[in-house]
Amino acid sequence: MESYIMAPHHESLFKFSPKLRLGILASGVGSNFEALVKATRDSFLQAEISLLIVNNPNCGAVNKAISLGIPYQIIDHRSFPSRSEHEQQIINAFQKSDVEILVMAGWMRIVTSLLIKSYPDRIVNIHPSILPSFRGTNAIKQALKSGVKITGCSVHLVNEEVDSGPILVQVAVPILKEDNQESLSAKVRKQEHKSLPIGVAIAGKRWREANYG
Ligand code: GAR
């Protein structure tokens, strides 16, 4: 067994008319961001990425946005005197782009109630563990160290406690004897790329149904 995905998977889940408008937050390599772009371009997910915001000027996600032709903004937290002023700038940018669902695709900043209350039940996060196990940073390292035989990834809605909101999708990935940080990260990452578009579709459907019937 390579992996096991726990999620509803109906064709209609991915259909949005008009297309769902997504805002992405990323801090790192950007492989989950890229997977989302691919899902929208393959028409697997009827959505468009209105804006990518990164907090690290030199992160891989920026280069991917440039090569994929996705609008992006660098909003570096180091340029703001407080967390709330940084978040307010992010909220302003997403509101201007008329974003419906925010996706934290490798966003390595704790978010406050300011952002969460601006997009209640509309912020989706991906985390490299089967939550509630191994919250926070270094989830893969934590799993390897603990000796568990299964880990994986979770897509969930963001609430005010770190890595704790309602689960939308989980994928189990077995840990083999020979696995190390690199091999396990690669296997989990591969499953993240499949599960994130599904989680985004679930959140998007709930939002559209609650607001537009
Ligand atoms: C992903 O594995 C994601 O689950 C993790 O950061 C990585 C980003 O990779 N997020 C967290 O640990 C959040 N707590 P990417 O930049 O290649 O998408």
Give residue for tokens 């407080």: 82
Placement of tokens 């559209």 in the chain: 208
What pLDDT is stored for residue 149 in this prediction? 98
The total domain count for the chain is 1
State the distance from the centre of ligand 1 to the C-alpha of 107, rounded, in angstroms.
7
- The predicted structure's pLDDT at residue 3: 58
Whether 90 maps to a domain, the answer reads yes
What whole-number distance in Å separates Cα of residue 206 and Cα of residue 212? 10
Pocket lined around ligand 1, Cβ cut-off 6 Å = 26, 28-32, 105-106, 126-128, 139, 163, 189, 192
12 pLDDT tier (thresholds 50, 70, 90): confident
Asked if the structure places residue 115 within a domain, the reply is yes
Per-residue burial over 72-85, b if 16 or more Cβ lie within 10 Å, else e, is bbebebeebeeeee
Q: For residues 199 and 213, what is the distance between their CA atoms, to the nearest angstrom?
A: 20
Who's near 179: CB < 8 A, 6+ residues apart?
Answer: 144, 187
Nearest CA to ligand 1 atom 8: 106
What range does the domain containing 144 cover?
A: 20-212
Does residue 2 have a pLDDT over 60? no
| pTM, entire model | 0.95
Instruction: Please check the confidence at residue 147 and state whether its pLDDT lies above 90.
Output: yes
What is the domain-level CATH number for residue 59? 3.40.50.170
* Catalytic-residue membership of 193: no
